[in-house]
Amino acid sequence: TQLLEQSPQFLSIQEGENLTVYCNSSSVFSSLQWYRQEPGEGPVLLVTVVTGGEVKKLKRLTFQFGDARKDSSLHITAAQPGDTGLYLCAAPLVGDYKLSFGAGTTVTVRA
């Protein structure tokens, strides 16, 4: 059983559309991170959220951390082909140091 459940597993949309990716758990986290990974590359850190209810914006990407610090979402506005990739959420359990990753959401944005 995955500690972090991501949904959907796959998402294919047209350029200009919006999308949301979800990351859920029954565990409480001290922080949660989102990464994007392109084929043949390692994951690249996008953002870290720390406070329950926190919202962070990175250009067209909006990240939200749930009030109870058990879940998070990533929303992309007006998606572009360059947004294509595997989106991963990751978090350490409270008091732990190692990151546990979700299985990822593969996003494909068609031109």
Partner 1 sequence: GAGVSQSPRYKVAKRGQDVALRCDPISGHVSLFWYQQALGQGPEFLTYFQNEAQLDKSGLPSDRFFAERPEGSVSTLKIQRTQQEDSAVYLCASSLGGDRGAFFGQGTRLTVV
- List residues near partner 1 by CB under 8 A: 6, 30-31, 33, 35, 40-45, 48, 50, 86, 88, 90, 92, 97-104, 106
Cβ proximity to partner 1: between 17 and 41 the closer is 41
Cβ proximity to partner 1: between 45 and 78 the closer is 45
Gap between the Cα atoms of 21 and 106, Å rounded: 10
Q: Compute the least distance from the CB of residue 33 to partner 1, in Å.
A: 5
Q: Compute the least distance from the CB of residue 19 to partner 1, in Å.
A: 18
**C-alpha to C-alpha distances, 60 to 27, 48, 66, 76, nearest whole angstrom:** 29, 16, 20, 6
Cβ proximity to partner 1: between 12 and 30 the closer is 30
Cβ proximity to partner 1: between 43 and 66 the closer is 43
Gap between the Cα atoms of 81 and 14, Å rounded: 9
Q: Compute the least distance from the CB of residue 58 to partner 1, in Å.
A: 13
Q: Compute the least distance from the CB of residue 63 to partner 1, in Å.
A: 13
What is the 8-class DSSP label of residue 2? -
Gap between the Cα atoms of 78 and 33, Å rounded: 22
